[in-house]
Structure 1
Amino acid sequence: MDYDAEMRRIQKMLDEIEVSSSEDEESVGGDVPASDCEGEEDYQEKDVHVPDSDCYESDPDDIPDQPQKKKPKIDGWKGKDKTTRWKKNVPKLQGRTRSSNVIKFTPGLKGPALNANSPADFWGDFITLEIIGLLVKHTNSMIAMQKGKYAQPYRTKDTDVIEMKALIGLLMLGGTYHASRLHLADIWKADGTGIEVFRLTMSLDRFCFLLCCLRFDDKATREERKRVDKLAPVRQIFEMFVENCKKNYTSSEFVTIDEMLLAFRGHCPFRQYIPRKPAKYGIKIHALCDAKTFYVCNMEIQYIPEHSQMGHSRLTSSTIHHRLWSQDLFLTSLGLLEMQHLIIGILAIH
């Protein structure tokens, strides 16, 4: 009896499963459009391949990464007119080099600078003993005139070559420490806030006394020389220094001429005011420099407006063997174009 009841229960469960499966088939068949089912006795599903682009949008992650094209490197720069192209490297020229463009000199050190082995030796090649001797001579002449104003003789003793070198060294060292805006008493302080090397070299009173008596020429003949040259107080020392610059180094084939404003706010008849410059007040100097090493090959101080072209001719007269010059509108002239081989400059049309 139990066996028959168990069989009926299993058969009932099977019937329920068959009924549910038939209902699922009818629901699936009802979703098929009538136009696709009517009139077809034997429906056979065909495996038709439809391109992905026509049926659905592809996943961006499934698309393989395409190699990006590298932008070609531009060998140069574009000019302000957005048309001119400036090349970075010198193009290779076919054929022989012109004789006017052949470099017949070796850029670099020459003369006394070849024998220098230390910074002090290089410094001595520019600030020579001859220059130091003139400074000592003219400074002692000024000290002799000031001796009557001091009761203590030790304050007005004459200077010598060693002390003059120490004075120039302290001035240069002050520029290295950017001490131009510091009070001298702060530099000579002994409480640890000052610069010790200044205090160990000489006293503050001696430093100030030497600065007051420092002279670069003979004061007795200065007025006569100033009638023809406003730069008479420093002309001799300045010319000797510039000559040493030309004597110790040969510039490369690329040079440039431009003006610079040496910051100075003291009393000077040819001090200029240029608001666009960082210092604004100073002495204008035209300099001929090596475009590769920035070495100053020649200089001329402009102390009157008419003196600019004369000073420019002095800068170019002794260095006409260079073949490439670069300069601005103010310094470019037709005479210079006729004298040199190649110039990069600006000419105004009048």
Structure 2
Amino acid sequence: MAKRLSAQGALHLILEGREALDEDVEEEFSECEDHISEKSKSDSDFEEEDEIEHQLVPKQRRAKTWMSKNGEIEWSSCPRNEPPRMAANVIRMQQGPTRMAVSHVQDIKSSFDLFTPDSIQKIILDCTNLEGRRVFGERWKEMDRTHLHAYFGVFMLAGVSRSKGESTESLWDAETGREFFRATMSLENFYIISRIIRFDNQDDRPARQQRHKLAAIRTVWDKWVHRLPLFYNPGANVTIDKQLMPFRGRCPFRQSISSKPAKYGIKIWAACDATFSYAWNLQVYTGKPDGGAPEKNQGMRVVLDMTQGLSGHNITCDNFFFISYKLGQELLKRKLTMVGTIRINKLPPQLQTTKNRPSKFVYTAGTSLVSYVPKKGKNVVLMSEAQAQCKCRRPRDHK
């Protein structure tokens, strides 16, 4: 896709497209519309017209149909009338910080403690001091919360000062560095803590690592991610996508993605609020199991995992997640709708070709699909679970 559409833009394109059916389909419905007179009519006239139309429509309304590649889904050129889905897209939470977050946050320090509570800080301090005694012995000076906060604060200030790519020595340099780094701790202490800091007990890690590759940070990570939904309610649109965190160190599940600026790093699935980019849920991708086959239907599994706890929202994701009709139906069972791009190899053959044809809109019960052809040889396909209503007749204006 030349440009990535936003959730609102993609949904708007699909819904507006229902009013722009292909010329062939419009001709098929023209006879259904022409017999309705433009002059005002009485209620009895409308009732008589309804009876006539009921007899005419079955013969005249011959919408085109196409079967999916697997022969399981029938797509129609006309949306099928169905009862409104009252459960979908009815959000029962108010977007923004939760009451818990508002009641506990007064300043930057309290905000940090909200996301990193005492239980997480205690695990880090206990494991770090254990590693420090193992490496330095009696020379190790016990690390407390003040040292831990100072260490984390240095990283946050480095991000605030836009020091990405700058060497650590230059940050502490008396001439080219920043004074607050030197005032917080010495460069030597920073190196020592970076060498010693741990998030688990290294002695029993090998046993845990056999069950999960993320064993080194698993406990702290799970506790931290579990707290993210407690402090913010996402809006109507939630985006699910991957994020490559730059990392070139030793890691059994480090990914290489040449299309990304960092090239190498750790891949993280993220479910974020589309308006304010709040990370509502995160999941680290640790690769395929050792000696095992790659995971099947990974995209569907990720989307279903990341949307746990959501209801009434619209989910947007790209075709990496193999957006499919089956996934859309699963989300509908959870009172969620979906909009996203779909790969053309999953479409009926009539929609895969772009030669000498305009954009096409096809439907199943409750699902809309647009094959958008912005230019020659370009086929962008969007699918939405937003309800499609057939507009074969002009609406009546009863006064």
Residue 279 of structure 1, CA deviation = 0.9
Does the alignment pair 1:343 with 2:333?
no
Q: 1:138 pairs with 122, 127, 130, which one?
A: 127
Normalising by the residue count of structure 1, what TM-score does the alignment of the two structures yield? 0.68
Q: What's the RMSD between the two structures over aligned residues? A: 2.9
CA distance in 2 between partners of 1:160 and 1:212 (Å) = 16
Q: After the TM superposition, which residues 245-264 of structure 1 pair with which residues of structure 2 at under 5 Å, given as runs?
A: 245-264=228-247
Aligned residues: 260
CA distance in 2 between partners of 1:137 and 1:173 (Å) = 25
CA distance in 1 between partners of 2:202 and 2:217 (Å) = 11
1:18 match: none
Does the alignment pair 1:241 with 2:189?
no
> Secondary structure of 1:133's match?
helix
Bigger CA drift: 112-121 or 98-107? 98-107
2:268 match: 285
2:108 match: 119
Q: Partner amino acid for 2:244?
A: L
Contact kept? 2:235, 2:313, Cα under 8 Å: no
Q: Partner amino acid for 1:195?
A: R
Distance 1:251 1:188, change over 3 A: same
CA distance in 2 between partners of 1:289 and 1:200 (Å) = 36
CA distance in 2 between partners of 1:254 and 1:194 (Å) = 42
Bigger CA drift: 198-207 or 114-123? 114-123
Q: Partner amino acid for 2:127?
A: H
Does the alignment pair 1:98 with 2:81?
no
1:53-89: CA deviation from partner (whole Å, max 9, x where unpaired): xxxxxxxxxxxxxxxxxxxxxxxxx999xxx997489
Contact kept? 1:138, 1:215, Cα under 8 Å: yes
2:357 match: none
Does the alignment pair 1:265 with 2:265?
no
CA distance in 2 between partners of 1:79 and 1:207 (Å) = 41
1:216-255: CA deviation from partner (whole Å, max 9, x where unpaired): 1111111111111101111111111111111111111211
> Secondary structure of 2:307's match?
helix
Distance 1:99 1:85, change over 3 A: closer
Q: 1:328 pairs with 318, 328, 348, which one?
A: 318
> Secondary structure of 1:208's match?
helix
Q: Which has the higher contact order (CA 8 A, sep 6+)?
A: 2
Does the alignment pair 1:314 with 2:305?
yes
Distance 1:142 1:333, change over 3 A: farther
Contact kept? 2:11, 2:339, Cα under 8 Å: no
CA distance in 1 between partners of 2:285 and 2:4 (Å) = 33
Normalising by the residue count of structure 2, what TM-score does the alignment of the two structures yield? 0.60
Bigger CA drift: 216-225 or 179-188? 179-188
CA distance in 1 between partners of 2:10 and 2:225 (Å) = 38
Identity %: 29
Residue 189 of structure 1, CA deviation = 2.1
CA distance in 2 between partners of 1:318 and 1:304 (Å) = 25
Q: Partner amino acid for 1:107?
A: Q
> Secondary structure of 2:180's match?
helix
Residue 177 of structure 1, CA deviation = 2.2
Q: Partner amino acid for 1:162?
A: T
Bigger CA drift: 131-140 or 336-345? 336-345
Contact kept? 2:266, 2:285, Cα under 8 Å: yes
Does the alignment pair 1:175 with 2:159?
yes
Is there any run of 5+ residues in structure 2 with no aligned partner, and where?
17-82, 289-293, 347-399
CA distance in 2 between partners of 1:227 and 1:207 (Å) = 32
2:96 match: 108
1:31-68: CA deviation from partner (whole Å, max 9, x where unpaired): xxxxxxxxxxxxxxxxxxxxxxxxxxxxxxxxxxxxxx
CA distance in 2 between partners of 1:317 and 1:97 (Å) = 20
Bigger CA drift: 178-187 or 274-283? 178-187
Instruction: Name the larger-Rg structure.
Output: 1
CA distance in 1 between partners of 2:302 and 2:227 (Å) = 18
CA distance in 2 between partners of 1:280 and 1:269 (Å) = 16
Distance 1:86 1:100, change over 3 A: closer
